C-alpha cells in the first residue's frame, strides 16, 4: 500500500532528493567515497556547499548585501543567536505560536523583549493585526508559519526596524521579498533536508552593532567569513539540501511551487469546510496555513476522533494526528507532498463520513 506522509517534521522529501542522496551515500561526486565519510574540506564538498548557497540565492532572488550560511543547531539555535547578534537594548516579537513563544523567551535573556501582539488568548487560532512595532526596537521578530496551530503570514511585513523571520516550515514554498528582511532563518527538516542544519540569510549591515562580546561559534560573522566552514558542517544534510534546491529549480522555481501548494491546500480546506464531521481550527481564510492544515472533529462527533485516525492509517495516511498540545488532526502539505496524497486523504474523509 502506498504511504502518504503528512508528518510535520522531519517530513516528506522529494523522491529526487532521496534518490540522489542514496547515490551520494554510495559514491559522492565520483570520489568513490560516501558523502557520509567525505571530508568537508574536500574540493567536492566545498563545491556542494557553494552550489547550495548559490541555489538559495537564485531561488529566493537574494539581493546584494546579503550572505547565506548553513549552520548546525537547527532553528532553535537561532532563537538565541538572533538576539545575541542584534539586540542591544530592546527587541520586539509577534507571538503567534509555540515556536514564536520560545524565541521570545530566549530574547528576554539579552535585554528587554517586547511582545507587540499575541494570539494566545484563542489558542493561537488567528494572526494578530493592527499592532504597533516600537520604533526604538533593535529588530522585530516574526514566525511566518505556525506548524502546531495552522496559521501563516503570507505577506512580507513593512516595518521601520530590522525584520527577522523564522521561516522553518514555509521557506521555499513561495516567493519572498528578501529585501524586507534583515535575517531569515529556517530549520531544514520541513521543506528542505533531513534534520541537522539551518539555512540563514543575513543582511550584512545589521551585524557588528551590539556592545556585548559574542562567543566565536555564535557570531554570524564567524560563519560568513569562513563560508559556513568554520567548523565541520552537517555534511549529509547540506548535500541533501542541495538536491532539494536542484529539484525546486527544475520544477520552475518558487512561483510554480506556490501555485502547486495553494491548489493542494485549497482542495483540503474545501473538504474540511464541506464535511459535516470536521471543523477547521483556523476560521479566517486569510490566516490559514498552506503548509500545516489543522482541523478537529465537530463537537457532536468527538468520539470518532480515534476511529478516524485508525481508518486513515488503514488507508495509508501517516502522521495526521494533531500536535499533542492541540489534538485533532494536522495534514502537513509541504512542497514534496504530491497532490495525490491530498486527494487520498480527502477520499478517506468522505468514505468515513458516509459510514457515520
Question: pLDDT for 36-78, tens place per residue?
Answer: 999 999 999 999 999 999 999 999 999 999 999 999 999 999 9
**Burial of 136 from C-beta contacts in 10 A (0-12 / 13-18 / 19+):** exposed
As a whole number, mean pLDDT of residues 148-170 equals: 97
Percentage of the chain modeled with pLDDT above 90: 98
Mean pLDDT of 211-216: 96
The three-state (H, E, C) secondary structure of the chain, written as one string: CCCEECCCCCCCCCHHHHHHHHHHHHCCCCCCCCCCCCCCCCHHHHHHHHHHHHHHHHHHCCCCCEEEEEECCHHHHHHHHHHHHHCCCEEEEEECCHHHHHHHHHHCCCCEEEEEEECHHHCCCCCCCCCCCCCCCCCEEEECEECCCCEECCCCCCCCCCEEEECCCCCCCCCCCHHHCCEEEEECCCCCCCCCCEEEEEEHHHCCCCCCCCCHHHCHHHHHHCCCCCCCCCHHHHHHHHHHHHHHHHHCCHHHHHHHHHHHHHHHHHHHHHCCCEEECCCCHHHECCCEEEEEECHHHHHHHHHHHHHHHHCCEECCECCCCCCCEEEECCCCCCHHHHHHHHHHHHHHHHHC
Compute the mean pLDDT over every residue in the chain, rounded to the nearest whole number: 97
CA dihedral defined by 150, 84, 71, 115, rounded to 10 degrees? 0
Q: Is the pLDDT of residue 326 over 90?
A: no
Look up residue 182 and give its three cell numbers. 534583515
Q: Is 99 a catalytic residue?
A: yes
User: Where are the chain's structural domains?
Assistant: 4-12+253-355, 15-251
In CATH terms, 4-12+253-355 corresponds, of 3.30.70.1140, 3.20.20.10, 3.40.1390.10, 3.90.1150.10, to 3.90.1150.10
The number of CA neighbours under 13 Å toward the Cβ of 52 is 32
pLDDT at 123: 94
Please check the confidence at residue 250 and state whether its pLDDT lies above 90.
Answer: yes
- pTM for the model: 0.97
Identify the band that residue 325 occupies on the pLDDT scale cut at 50, 70 and 90. Answer: confident
pLDDT, position 355: 95
- pLDDT at residue number 308: 98
Q: Which of 99, 138, 170, 260 is catalytic?
A: 99
Which one of 20, 138, 166, 219 is the catalytic residue? Answer: 166
Share of the chain above pLDDT 70, in %: 100
Structure confidence at residue 1 as a pLDDT band (50, 70, 90) = confident
5, 84, 173, 191, 345 from 319: Cα distances, Å: 6, 35, 20, 16, 12
Residue 180 known to be catalytic: no
313 pLDDT tier (thresholds 50, 70, 90): very high
Confidence of residue 228 (pLDDT cuts 50, 70, 90): very high
Intrachain domains 4-12+253-355 and 15-251 with the same fold? no
pLDDT of residue 173: 98
- Could you confirm whether 136 is annotated as catalytic? no
CATH fold of 15-251: 3.40.640
What average pLDDT does range 231-246 have in this prediction? 98
Exactly one of 20, 154, 190, 260 is catalytic; which is it?
A: 190
Amino acid at each position: 500500500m502506498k504511504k502518504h506522509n503528512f508528518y510535520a517534521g522531519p517530513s516528506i522529501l522529494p523522491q529526487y532528493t532521496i534518490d540522489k542522496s542514496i547515490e551520494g551515500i554510495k559514491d559522492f561526486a565520483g570520489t568513490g567515497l560516501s558523502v557520509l565519510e567525505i571530508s568537508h574540506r574536500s574540493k567536492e564538498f566545498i563545491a556542494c556547499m557553494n552550489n547550495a548557497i548559490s541555489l538559495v540565492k537564485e531561488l529566493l532572488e537574494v539581493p546584494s548585501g546579503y550572505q547565506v550560511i548553513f549552520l548546525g543547531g537547527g532553528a532553535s539555535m537561532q532563537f538565541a543567536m538572533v538576539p545575541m547578534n542584534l539586540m542591544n537594548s530592546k527587541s520586539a516579537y509577534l507571538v503567534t505560536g509555540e515556536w514564536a513563544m520560545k524565541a521570545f523567551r530566549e530574547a528576554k535573556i539579552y535585554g528587554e523583549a517586547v511582545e507587540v501582539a499575541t494570539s494566545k488568548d484563542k489558542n493561537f487560532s488567528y494572526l494578530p493585526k493592527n499592532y504597533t512595532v516600537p520604533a526604538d526596537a533593535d529588530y522585530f521578530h516574526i514566525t511566518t508559519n505556525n506548524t502546531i496551530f495552522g496559521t501563516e503570514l503570507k505577506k512580507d511585513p513593512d516595518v521601520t526596524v530590522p525584520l527577522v523571520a523564522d521561516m522553518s516550515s514555509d521557506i521555499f514554498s513561495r516567493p519572498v521579498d528578501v529585501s524586507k528582511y534583515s535575517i531569515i532563518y529556517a530549520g531544514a527538516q520541513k521543506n528542505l533536508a533531513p534534520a541537522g542544519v539551518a539555512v540563514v540569510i543575513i543582511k550584512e549591515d545589521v551585524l557588528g552593532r551590539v556592545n556585548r562580546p559574542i562567543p566565536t561559534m555564535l557570531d554570524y560573522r564567524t560563519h560568513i567569513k569562513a563560508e559556513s566552514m568554520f567548523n565541520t558542517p552537517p555534511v549529509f544534510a547540506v548535500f541533501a539540501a542541495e538536491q532539494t534546491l536542484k529539484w525546486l529549480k527544475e520544477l520552475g522555481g518558487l512561483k510554480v511551487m506556490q501555485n502547486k501548494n495553494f491548489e493542494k491546500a485549497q482542495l483540503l480546506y474545501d473538504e474540511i469546510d464541506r464535511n459535516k464531521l470536521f471543523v477547521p481550527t483556523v476560521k479566517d481564510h486569510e490566516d490559514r496555513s498552506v503548509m500545516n492544515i489543522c482541523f478537529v472533529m465537530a463537537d457532536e462527533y468527538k468520539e470518532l476522533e480515534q476511529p478516524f485516525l485508525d481508518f486513515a492509517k488503514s488507508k495509508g495516511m501517516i502522521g495526521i494526528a494533531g500536535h499533542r498540545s492541540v489534538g485533532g488532526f494536522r495534514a502537513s502539505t509541504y512542497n514534496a507532498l504530491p497532490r495525490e496524497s491530498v486527494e487520498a486523504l480527502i477520499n478517506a474523509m468522505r468514505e468515513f463520513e458516509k459510514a457515520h
